[in-house]
Structure 1
Amino acid sequence: MGGEGSMMHAIKSLKENRSLLKKRKLQSKDDVYGKKNVTKLYLKKSTPRDIARIKKMMFIEREKEKRRVFYAAIATILIVFVLYLLLT
């Protein structure tokens, strides 16, 4: 009979997947919500110079994106117009 090997492989992979799922079960409420006062973030304080530099970079990226969208729109309009002229 054909197909026994593929069925055996499917059964083995299902068993392996189930064993992996059993390892991931949460044991207590602390596993889900975390323990209090343990997860503290220490963030670097930004200087006004850093903030100004980041704002400038964001402005430049926005302008580049606007140009890309504008050129893509112009190209799309031109392609549609050329196709219209060729098909009529």
Structure 2
Amino acid sequence: MRKRAGFMYSKRVGDPSSKYGLNPDQFEIDIMNKQRQTQELKEHYKESLYELIKVNAVGYEMFPDDKFSLILECLREIKDKLKIN
């Protein structure tokens, strides 16, 4: 809710002045686009992580299980540093 001119203002669901009020089909289109973008980003991350696990770094021979565990440990540290729940 936004405070406006000394009183509380709340948009009603279906309000024609809302983003989707004048074009309700746009909501479904936006949801589908967001799902597609999320899936594309997920695939990008999977490809990148797969490369990290399968390729041997110069001078570092490790089993894939060990690499996977190390990547998870790094992700947990990043999560803590960024204070992500």
How high is the TM-score relative to the length of structure 1?
A: 0.43
Q: Which has the higher helix share?
A: 1
Flag the structure with higher strand content.
2
Higher relative contact order (CA closer than 8 Å, sequence separation 6+) = 2
Specify the structure having the higher radius of gyration (Cα): 1
Report the TM-score when normalising by structure 2. 0.44
